Amino acid sequence: MGIPPADQLRAAAEVINAGKRIAILAGQGCANVLPQLRRLAESLGAPIAKAYLAKALLPDDDPLTTGGIGHLGTAPSQWAMQSCDTVVILGTTMPWIDYYPKPAQARGVQIDIKSDHIGLKYPVEVGLTGDIGATLDALMPMLRAEPDHTFLAEAQTRMRAWRTLLDQVETTQRGPRLRPQTAMRALSEFAPANALFSMDCGANTHFAARHIQIREGQSWTGSGTLVTMASALPLAIAGAFSQPGRPSIAVAGDGGLAMLMAELSTAVLHGLDVKVMVLNNDALAQVKGEQREIGAQEYGCKLGHIDFAAYARAVGARGLSAGSVADLRPAVQAWLSTPGVALLDVQVDAEEESQRPDKVTA
């Protein structure tokens, strides 16, 4: 796949050059074009919001990014999309339509290798079908040379405030059971620099995506549309097979892990470096929160309790548990330092709901 025709590139440049507050939405299609993405953001003074599967595209503390977007994203990313006058969409069909700019608010340019992705989620003014890296290389010389960094500076200020808020959430306990945000903070702190993170789908995914601060050298995968429960463990096994020199870490909910937990014995059988953290709250917490949000009576959300640590030991893995702030950090360190397959069963509060970014409070 090459680059779009020159007239299309000029049309895209005209839209972008007319913008004063430009935001970039980047997806996994940008995985191999990071230098071009960085040059584009720096040249436009544009903050980069990352789609869920692009979490590892840039470290979460990179000054060019406002982090994730969508229900499990950040308030600064939401603000950037609500406040921009121009959006550049690169290699993503991020599913949450209500987190894109309003159509009348912002002009749009989209670049994607697949033509049927153009305009799929947002009515862009110019769509460019082609290799993203080559297309950006061709587009960059047409863009203005002296950007206004005011919009990016405001996004960076908001990111500092957001990190302070997350710190308050992660260090504040509301009841006898651990907050899942606290567990994710501990994992984020102690995870190896080359970790492969694999995600489940559910409330656990929201907490992981928001509170694991991805670092350079780490990787991230899961279900891009968040509709595949039980994905964490098989993805982690696949990661361990494909990249045997790296620790493969699965983050799962108890509902998801219960569906495919027999695969833990597969990891043991093959001697894989697989670590599983299960947020165990005896509930389908995401569905429980959604039912509450629409005013419905809770139905079908309770789960029977499973001692996953005992199960791990039964199939030949190391099984550990944590149920308090005092237990958590030592347990995480012991779990991650275990050779081979290990599972950490973290008892968390089922009443802790995954909030949309503008609703997050300490």
pLDDT in tens, 32-64: 999 999 999 999 999 999 999 999 999 999 999
Query: What does the block give as tokens for 102?
Result: 């309003």
What are the residues whose beta carbons fall under 8 Å from the beta carbon of 253, sequence distance 6 or more?
A: 200, 202, 203, 204, 205, 229, 278, 279, 281, 284, 285, 286
pLDDT at 60: 98
pLDDT in tens, 199-224: 999 999 999 999 999 999 999 999 98
- Give the residue carrying structure tokens 């069963």: 345
pLDDT at 141: 96
14 SS3 class? helix
Which residue, among 318, 327, 216, 218, has the nearest Cα to 276 in the 3D structure? 318
Confidence class for position 80, pLDDT limits 50, 70, 90: very high
Which residue, among 223, 284, 292, has the nearest Cα to 256 in the 3D structure? 284
Burial 267-279 (b: 16+ CB within 10 A, else e): bbeeebbbbbbbb
pTM over 0.85: yes
pLDDT in tens, 25-35: 999 999 999 99
pLDDT at 8: 98
pLDDT in tens, 275-321: 999 999 988 888 788 888 888 988 888 889 999 999 999 999 999 99
Strands 219-221, 318-322: pairing is unpaired
pLDDT at 29: 97
pLDDT in tens, 331-349: 999 999 999 999 999 999 9
Confidence class for position 351, pLDDT limits 50, 70, 90: confident
pLDDT at 245: 92
Phi-psi region of 87 (alpha: psi -120 to 50; beta: other; left: phi over 0): beta
Confidence class for position 11, pLDDT limits 50, 70, 90: very high
Question: Virtual CA dihedral for 322, 326, 331, 337, nearest 10 degrees?
Answer: 170
Summarize the confidence of residues 170-188 as an average pLDDT.
94
pLDDT in tens, 237-279: 999 999 999 999 999 999 999 999 999 999 999 999 999 999 9
Summarize the confidence of residues 122-137 as an average pLDDT.
97
Quick one: the chain helix, strand, coil %, rounded to 5?
Answer: 45, 15, 40
pLDDT at 175: 81
Going along the chain from its start, the domains and CATH numbers come out as 6-158 (3.40.50.1220), 175-359 (3.40.50.970)
Tell me the C-alpha distance between 10 and 265, whole Å. Answer: 56
pLDDT at 65: 98
Whole-number average pLDDT of the chain: 95
